[in-house]
Amino acid sequence: MASIIYSTIDDLKAARRIANTLVEEQLVACVNIVPGIESFYRWKGKIEIEQENLILAKTVDENIEKTIARLKAIHPYEVPDIIVLPIAGGLEEYLNYIKNETS
């Protein structure tokens, strides 16, 4: 099956670099970047409010661990927000596209 790997990052250029790297290395089939989200979170005892960009990367389940490791390695955050969301269903042709575009 397939999953979406969700992450956030403050720098749009870095988000684009990460997206390109993950697609180029065939770890994921597609990455959507949603710019301009507002994130509220607690970090080191303080509430933070930041403008970030959302990264949604689609991949096959066999690539999840490799994609997480690669994303963590190229992400500038000390503790990057990396969450896996299983895809429960969808258009079969698109799910096949994800499978065919990942190695």
pLDDT of 103 reads: 72
Q: Where are the domains of the chain?
A: 2-101
Listed residue (75, 68, 82, 79) closest to 14, CA to CA: 75
Asked if the 2-101 domain carries CATH number 3.30.70.580, the reply is no
List Cβ neighbours of 26 (8 Å cut-off, separation of 6 or more): 101, 102, 103
Whether residue 26 is predicted with pLDDT greater than 90 in this model: the reply is yes
Please calculate the CA angle 14-5-99 and round it to the nearest 5 degrees: 110
Give the three-state DSSP class for 26: coil
Q: What is the pLDDT of residues 42-74, one digit of tens each?
A: 999 999 999 999 999 999 999 999 999 999 999
CA-CA-CA-CA torsion for 67, 29, 40, 69, nearest 10 degrees? 10
Listed residue (30, 38, 86, 99) closest to 58, CA to CA: 30
pLDDT of 17 reads: 98
pTM equals 0.94
